[in-house]
């Protein structure tokens, strides 16, 4: 068996390869003069684990090329971050279901797929091969525990994310709640935890993804007004688009951490153990 990584998943792929004791395939990435992507994998075996986050259009193409390079071997595709997953339905006439288009494209040449913290698990049904979702919520809980915060209150940004937040909070037996938006007038909304008073509390807002940071920044400003002692943010996929990190820090968020499903300088949490365990336990069968 060999592990192939695409360019934006190199750190995570190396960690997974170490955990599994499976060598990384030597892979060369370059571009043709016209911008087309070139990739060459060496030392391939009869079984391949392709670790590839779909962080952008280039990584989508690199993933397709990596699968094709491993043609003839038994391929498992691990998608730490599945881009396009949030366009998972037609919000308006004439729109594509982008998550379905991407899942269909990636289903050829692989036997099974494992996706980490996909925005909506229903997206897994769009793959044409057995698809399994796994979560690193316990690893995020473990990271928060290592920070030794004073009785943190774990908050989900909305009710839909409460399951994820509860799993994070279970790691330390911490309080958990979700943020509720109440419209006070035409222009004014109040965002506050549904049940718990944040005054004097150390708050950790957890989410599957931070993209523009808009959701969390608005919540953080309001939680400060309600007397939160400090606010931290932790997510799986730190996309951090359009200056999101600065937006959060200037909104009074003391720390912003994410995982290596989307590799960047805030990726302090690793999905490697969760992925390796899923492979070892053969979760797809």
Which x/- pattern, by CB under 6 A, does the window 130-159 give for ligand R5P? ---------------------------x--
Among 215, 259, 261, 266, binds ligand R5P (CB under 6 A): 215
Please identify, using beta-carbon distances, which residue of 199 and 246 lies nearer to ligand R5P. 246
- How far apart (Å, rounded) are the C-alpha atoms in residues 147 and 157? 21
Count interface residues toward ligand R5P (CB under 6 A). Answer: 11
Handedness of CA 245, 249, 251, 255 (dihedral sign): positive
User: Applying CB under 6 A, which of residues 177, 208, 260, 263 lies at the interface with ligand R5P?
Assistant: 208
Angle at 83 between CA 88 and CA 35, to 5 degrees: 130
CA distance 151 to 204: 10
Judge whether 194 counts as a catalytic residue.
Answer: no
Nearest distance in Å: CB 259, ligand R5P: 15
Phi first, then psi: give them for residue 210, nearest 5 degrees. -115, 115
User: HSE of 117 in the Cβ direction (CA atoms, 13 Å)?
Assistant: 31
Out of 10, 211, 221, 254, the only residue in the binding site for ligand R5P (CB under 6 A) is 211
- What is the phi/psi pair of residue 26, to 5°? -65, 125
Look up residue 88 and give its DSSP letter.
-
Contact by Cβ (8 Å): 118, 127: no
Q: Which stretch binds ligand R5P (CB under 6 A): 94-102, 107-115, 121-129, 211-219?
A: 211-219
Query: Does the protein bind ligand R5P through residue 214 (CB under 6 A)?
Result: yes
For ligand R5P, the closer of residues 141 and 213 by Cβ is 213
Of 41 and 79, the one with the shorter C-beta distance to ligand R5P is 79
Considering only residues 72 to 111 of the shown chain, the ones binding ligand R5P according to CB under 6 A are: none
Could you tell me the sign of the dihedral formed by the alpha carbons of 164, 84, 279, 268, in that order? negative
Which residue from 152, 193, 213, 238 is in contact with ligand R5P, where contact means CB under 6 A? 213
> Reduced to 3 states, what is the DSSP secondary structure of residue 224?
helix
Q: Segment contacting ligand R5P (CB under 6 A): 145-153, 192-200, 202-210, 226-234? A: 202-210
CA-based max dimension of the chain: 64
Among 165, 210, 256, 269, binds ligand R5P (CB under 6 A): 210
Residues 193/228, Cβ–Cβ less than 8 Å:
no
| 139 backbone dihedrals φ, ψ, rounded to 5° | -70, -35
The stretch among 51-59, 177-185, 206-214, 265-273 that binds ligand R5P (CB under 6 A) is 206-214
Query: Judged by CB under 6 A, which stretch of 5-13, 132-140, 166-174, 213-221 contacts ligand R5P?
Result: 213-221
Catalytic residue among 19, 26, 181, 194: 181
Give φ, ψ of 169 to 5 degrees: -65, -30
Positions that interact with ligand R5P (CB under 6 A) = 157, 161, 207-215
Q: Which residues are catalytic?
A: 181
């Amino acid at each position: 068996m060999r592990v192939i990584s695409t360019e934006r998943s190199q750190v995570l792929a190396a960690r997974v390869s170490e955990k599994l004791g499976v060598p990384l395939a030597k892979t060369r990435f370059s571009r043709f003069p016209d911008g087309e992507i070139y990739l060459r994998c060496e030392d391939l075996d009869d079984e391949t684990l392709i670790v590839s986050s779909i962080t952008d259009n280039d990584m989508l193409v690199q993933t397709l090329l990596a699968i094709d390079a491993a043609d003839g071997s038994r391929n498992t595709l691990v998608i730490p971050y599945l881009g396009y997953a949030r366009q998972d339905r037609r919000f308006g006439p004439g729109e594509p279901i982008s998550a379905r288009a991407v899942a269909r494209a990636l289903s050829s040449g692989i036997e099974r797929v494992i996706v980490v913290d996909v925005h909506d698990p229903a997206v897994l049904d769009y793959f044409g091969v057995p698809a399994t979702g796994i979560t690193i919520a316990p690893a995020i809980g473990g990271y928060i525990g290592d920070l030794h915060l004073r009785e943190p209150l774990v908050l989900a940004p909305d009710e839909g994310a409460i399951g994820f937040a509860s799993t994070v909070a279970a790691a330390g037996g911490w309080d958990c709640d979700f943020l509720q938006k109440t419209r006070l007038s035409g222009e004014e909304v109040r965002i506050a935890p549904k049940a718990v008073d944040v005054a004097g509390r150390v708050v950790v807002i957890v989410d599957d993804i931070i993209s523009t940071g808009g959701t969390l920044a608005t919540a953080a400003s309001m939680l400060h007004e309600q007397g939160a002692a400090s606010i931290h943010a932790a997510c799986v996929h730190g996309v951090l688009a359009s200056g999101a990190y600065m937006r959060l820090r200037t909104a009074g968020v003391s720390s912003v951490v994410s995982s290596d499903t989307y590799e960047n300088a805030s990726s302090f949490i690793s999905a490697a153990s969760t992925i390796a365990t899923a492979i070892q336990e053969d979760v797809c069968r």
